[in-house]
Amino acid sequence: MSEAVHNRIALLRAEQGVTRRQLADALGVHYQTIGYLERGEYSPSLHLALRIAAFFELPVEIVFSIEPFPRISDRTHTA
């Protein structure tokens, strides 16, 4: 079983026009930490995951998952 934690941080940042540095400053972490999280090189503590979800005003399970999120480009559209 994989220990990877998948996230939508980069997508959420892009949607809201937030830089890595702005998010890091709001959370009190180094901006490189945000990059490590986005690339899946680091799994956040529960406390940090909850703070990130709160920043985006979303439930934590919308931001983080133990299963990969489906890619938007993989979705089929029906008319």
Closest by CA position to 12, among listed 76, 74, 69, 75: 69
Q: What is the pTM of this model?
A: 0.84
Higher pLDDT pick, 65 / 79 = 65
Query: Would you say 19 and 26 are in contact if contact means Cβ atoms under 8 Å apart?
Result: no
pLDDT at 17: 98
Which pLDDT band holds residue 48 (cuts at 50, 70, 90)? very high
pLDDT at 4: 85
The domains located in the chain, with CATH, are 6-64 (1.10.260.40)
Closest by CA position to 27, among listed 51, 43, 1, 7: 51
d(CA 13, CA 56): 9
Query: Would you say 51 and 58 are in contact if contact means Cβ atoms under 8 Å apart?
Result: no
